[in-house]
Chains A and B, each alone.
Chain A
Amino acid sequence: MIEVQDLRITFNAGTPLENQALKGIDLSIPEGQFITVIGSNGAGKSTLLNALAGEFLSPKGSISLDGKDISTWSMEKRAPQIARVFQDPLMGTCEDLTIEENLALAQARTKTRGLGTAAKRQFRQHFMNKLKLLQLGLENRLEDKIGLLSGGQRQAVSLLMASLQPMKLLLLDEHTAALDPKTATFILELTKNIVEESQLTALMVTHSMSQALSVGSRTIMLHQGKLALDVHGESREGLSTQDLLAQFHKNYGEVDDDALLLS
C-alpha cells in the first residue's frame, strides 16, 4: 500500500525559472493495483514517478509505504522495495557490463552487497530461463556486453532486471516510447505478463490514451501538476478515449494539446 499525501515538487524554487511540477498530489495505491498514468507534456507524470523512486530528497508532503514514511529515503534505500524501468532504453542497463553482470546487479537489488562472487554459477540457469521468455535469443549471449544489444533488446532486459526480485512498487516511465511500434507492442505485452504473473503494484506512464485504458485496472490523468482524473472499477470499463476527454473537458475546459492526449 502506497500513500502519497499533498506531494509538492518545485524546481528552481525562488528563482525566475521556478517551476511547480507537482502542486499537491494525493494518491493511494492499494497492493496489486496496476495504474496507468496519462497527461500532456509537463503535466508532472515523470516527476511523480521520480519522486516515488526517491530522486528528490526533500519533497513537501509525504510518501509512505506500508505505513512507513519514506519521503526522506534516498533512491538506493528505496530500491529494495521500488523497481523501475526508465524511458531511455540505455538508462536501465550498464553498457560496459555483460548481460549476465547486469542481471546479477539487479539480482542483488534487495540485499546488502558483500564480497561474494557477483555472477554466481547457480544464478546462470535462472537467468537463462528468464531470458528465454523474451524469445530474443539472449540466453546464449550472457557474456556479451549489453552495449552490443539494440535499444529494444536492452529495454526488454531492463524490464526483466526490474522483475528479478520481489518489490512493493514497479515504476514504468514511458518505457515503450523510444521503441519502434513492433518492439513497443512486444515490450508492453511482456509488461502485462510480468505484472499479472506476480500480481505487482505498478505505475505506468504512457502517452497513449487508448493504451492507458486497455492496460491495468486504474487510470489517472495529471494536468499541470495536479490529479485531474482518476477512473477505476466499473466506471472505467468500456470507457473510450472520447469519454475520458469529455470528462476531462467538463472539469477543466478546452486544452490545446488534445492531439497529444488522443494518440
Chain B
Amino acid sequence: MISSFAFFGALETGFIFALVALGIFISFRILDFPDLTVDGSFPLGAAVAASTIVAGLHPLLATLLACIAGSIAGVITALLNVKLKILHLLASILTMIALYSINLRIMSGPNQALLGVETLLTPLDNLVIAGTEIPYYIAYPIAFGVLALVVLGLLVAFLKTELGLAMRATGSNPRMAKANGVNTSAMIILGMAISNALVALAGALFAQSQGSADVTMGVGVIVIGLASVIGGEALLSTRTILLWALACVVGSILYRIVIAFALNGEVLGLQAQDLNLITAVLVTLAIVAPTLKSNMKSKLNGVRR
C-alpha cells in the first residue's frame, strides 16, 4: 500500500496533469493534430510564472501570463503547419526545440526557485475552515481538482458551441468542414492556442506547487499526457464529449496512482529512475488492451461454439 501522504501527492500531481491531458485531448483527439509542443509549453508556463512572480508580479497575473505565453507557442506551431505547410509533427518539434532556448532566456538560467515568495498556493498553506486546520497536502489536491473540473466543464461547453462543433469537424473531416463554410486553418490555430494555454497553465501551477521551475521539467510531458488520455479511453467510455474529456482527467489521476504504487516499497524493486520505463509500458498496455480484450473475447466465443 501507499501512504495517504503519497496518495494525496498523486492526486495533486494528477489533477495538475489533468490540464495537460485535456490540452492533449484537444490537439490529438479533437483536431487530430499530433502536437509535441507541450514538452516546451509546459516548462514555458512554469518559467513565465516563476520569473514574473519573483519579479514581483501578482501570482494570478503571472499564471495568466503563463497561459498567454503557452497559447502563443501553440499558435506558432499551428502557423508553421497551416501557413508554411510544414508537417504537423515536425512543426511542433521545431517549436518545442525553440522553446528550450526561450525558456533558458526567460529564467536567465536553467531554473528559477520560488522560495519565500507568495504564490497562488500560499493562501492554502495554513487554511482553516470552521476552526479545523486543513493540511496543505489535502488542500492542494482539492484546489487543483476543482480547477480541473471547472476547466473540463468550460471545455466541454465550448465544444458544444457552433465554433466548438466546427473545430471537431475540422479534425474529423476537414474537406467536409470546409464545404460547410468552416475556416479550418483558423480552427487549428484556435485549438492549438487553447491546448497549449492549458498545458502552460499546468506548468505554471506545477512550478508553484513544487517551489521551482526547471528547463528540463518538460521532458516526457507529452508521453505522460498521452498515457493519461489513452489510459482513460481504454478504461472509460468515449461515447460523448463529456465522458471522453472526463476519461482524460480520470486517466491522469489513475496514471499517478499506478506510478505511486509501482514506485512504492520494495515489492517490485522499482525506483524513481524507472519512471519513464513504467510510463512507456503503461502507454503500450493502454494502446494494446482494447485489441487484446476483443481478441480474447472472440477466441472464447469460438471455443464455446
Mostly helix, strand, loop or mixed at chain B's interface? Answer: helix
CB <8 Å contact, A108 and B164: no
B184 within 8 Å of A (CB atoms): yes
Chain B 176-213: CB-based contact to A (< 8 A → 1; otherwise 0): 11111111100000000000000000000000000000
Partner of A101, one of B165, B173, B179: B165
Provided the pairs A91-B173, A94-B173 are in contact, do residues A105 and B165 lie with their beta carbons within 8 angstroms?
yes
CB <8 Å contact, B168 and A115: no
How many cross-chain pairs have Cβ atoms below 8 Å apart between A and B?
Answer: 88
CB <8 Å contact, B181 and A109: yes
Q: Which of B78-86, B155-163, B257-265 contacts A (4 or more CB under 8 A)?
A: B155-163
A79 within 8 Å of B (CB atoms): yes
- Interface residues in A, total, Cβ within 8 A: 32
Partner of A92, one of B161, B166, B176, B184: B176
Mostly helix, strand, loop or mixed at chain A's interface? Answer: loop
Provided the pairs A76-B181, A109-B180 are in contact, do residues A115 and B165 lie with their beta carbons within 8 angstroms?
no
CB distance from A185 to the nearest CB of B (A): 25
CB <8 Å contact, B182 and A76: yes
CB <8 Å contact, B178 and A116: no
A14 within 8 Å of B (CB atoms): no
CB distance from A193 to the nearest CB of B (A): 22
Partner of B168, one of A75, A97, A106, A113: A97
CB <8 Å contact, B165 and A53: no
Chain A residues closer than 8 Å to B180, beta-carbon distance: 79, 105-106, 108-109, 161
Chain A residues 159 to 210 lying within 8 A of chain B, measured CB to CB, are: 161
CB <8 Å contact, B161 and A84: no
B105 within 8 Å of A (CB atoms): no
CB <8 Å contact, B160 and A115: no
Provided the pairs A76-B183, A118-B161 are in contact, do residues A113 and B166 lie with their beta carbons within 8 angstroms?
yes
Chain A residues closer than 8 Å to B172, beta-carbon distance: 94-97
Provided the pairs A109-B181, A110-B181, A113-B182 are in contact, do residues A94 and B161 lie with their beta carbons within 8 angstroms?
no
Chain B residues closer than 8 Å to A53, beta-carbon distance: 179
User: Whole-angstrom distance between the alpha carbons of A53 and B179 in the complex?
Assistant: 8
B47 within 8 Å of A (CB atoms): no
CB distance from A173 to the nearest CB of B (A): 11
CB <8 Å contact, A118 and B183: no
CB <8 Å contact, A108 and B173: no
Partner of B162, one of A92, A95, A108: A108
B169 within 8 Å of A (CB atoms): yes
User: Whole-angstrom distance between the alpha carbons of A96 and B162 in the complex?
Assistant: 16
Chain A residues closer than 8 Å to B183, beta-carbon distance: 74, 76
